[in-house]
Amino acid sequence: MTTVFVLNGPNLNLLGRREPQVYGSTTLQDIEKLVREKAEALGTSVTFRQSNHEGHLVDWIQEAGAQGAGIVINAGAYTHTSIALRDAISGSGAPTVEIHISNVHAREGFRHRSLIAPVSVGVICGFGPQSYVLGLEAVHQVMAERARQAKSSQH
């Protein structure tokens, strides 16, 4: 069974209360429920976590890589500042999809630059909570394709 870590960075625990005009009224628990429903439909196991601490995210990225899992990450503000997350993603070997609830390119200029996008297989933003579901589908597809390629190269 495919495993995907869905990792959430700083302030995402405040979803539903924080800037609802930007992020909506959906809570992180609501998003987790959506993700788990989609994962079940895909036959994928999900590990869903949130931390306001960069080091926890680094540890979880490394854990995902060691387990051969994929990653969907909403790194929040760390997207734009964290070389540590970038290096963890790069070093883990885990296929990673960066996601955001809001369209970061329609917001403040400092949000337009991602340090983790260059080491991710793709970026999804601006679809609200559905960004998580799209990210899960995308990383699942990437992992399935990699598994098919590995299997065909063995024959």
Dist. CA 105–CA 32, nearest whole Å: 25
The answer on whether 113 is annotated among ligand-binding residues is: no
Catalytic entry in 56, 78, 100, 140: 100
The answer on whether 74 is annotated among ligand-binding residues is: yes
Are the C-beta atoms of 44 and 36 separated by less than 8 Å?
Answer: no
The answer on whether 102 is annotated among ligand-binding residues is: yes
Spatial CA neighbour of 99 closest among 149, 34, 42, 147: 34
- CA triple 104-90-46, angle to 5 deg: 70
DSSP reduced 3-state for 29: helix
- 100 part of the active site: yes
The answer on whether 59 is annotated among ligand-binding residues is: no
Catalytic entry in 23, 78, 132, 140: 23
């997207």: which residue's tokens?
79
Name the binding residues for substrate.
Answer: 74, 80, 87, 101-102, 111
Name the binding residues.
Answer: 74, 80, 87, 101-102, 111
Residues belonging to the active site: 23, 100
